Amino acid sequence: MRRSVLIAATAAAATLALPTLAQTPIVIKFSHVVAPDTPKGKGAQRFKELAEQRTGGKVKIELYPNSQLYKDKEELEALQLGSVQMLAPSLAKFGPLGVKEFEVFDLPFIFKDTDAFRAVTDGAVGADLFKKLEPKGIKGLAYWDNGFHIMSANKPLHNVADFKGMKMRIQSSKVLDAQMRALGAIPQVMAFSELYQALQSGVVDGTEGVASNFYTQRIFEVQKHITLSNHGHLAYAVIVNKKFWDGLPADIRTQLEGAMKDASTYANAIASTENAAALQGIKASGKSTIYMPTAAELAEWKKALMPVHKEMESRVGKATVEAVYKAAGFSAK
pLDDT of residue 71: 74
Residue 291, domain member (yes or no): yes
In a domain, 331, yes or no: no
Q: Look up residue 200 and give its amino acid.
A: Q
Query: What does DSSP assign to residue 167?
Result: E
What secondary structure letter does DSSP report for 303? H
Residues 6+ apart with CB under 8 A from 122: 143
Instruction: Let me know: does 78 contact 84? Beta carbons within 8 Å.
Output: yes
- Residue 125 within any structural domain of the chain: yes
Instruction: In whole angstroms, give the CA distance from residue 25 to residue 12.
Output: 23
Q: Which domain covers residue 39, as residue numbers? A: 2-325
330 located within any domain: no
pLDDT at 273: 92
DSSP code at position 94: G
164 in any annotated domain: yes
Alpha carbons 90 and 134: distance in angstroms, whole number = 17
CA dist., res. 204 & res. 190, Å (int):
9
- Compute the radius of gyration of the chain from its Cα atoms: 23
Tens-of-pLDDT digits for all 333 residues of the chain?
A: 444 433 333 343 433 333 444 579 999 999 988 889 888 999 999 999 999 999 999 999 999 998 888 876 688 999 999 999 999 999 988 988 899 999 999 999 999 999 999 999 999 999 999 999 999 999 999 999 999 999 999 999 999 999 999 999 999 899 999 999 999 999 999 988 899 999 999 999 999 999 999 999 999 999 999 999 999 999 999 999 999 999 999 999 999 999 999 999 999 999 989 999 999 999 999 999 999 999 999 999 999 999 999 999 999 999 999 999 999 999 876
**Residue 333 falls within a domain, yes or no?**
no
Going 103 to 214 to 139 to 77, the CA torsion angle's sign is positive
Host H or E run for residue 110: none
pLDDT at res. 12: 39
Q: Do the domain assignments include residue 148?
A: yes
Would 11 be classed as within a structural domain?
yes
* Cα atoms found within 13 Å of the Cα of residue 13, Cβ hemisphere only: 6
Q: Give, rounded to a whole angstrom, the gap between the first and last alpha carbons of the chain.
A: 92
pLDDT recorded at residue 22:
53
* Confidence (pTM): 0.87
| Number of domain units in the chain | 1
175: CATH: 3.40.190.170
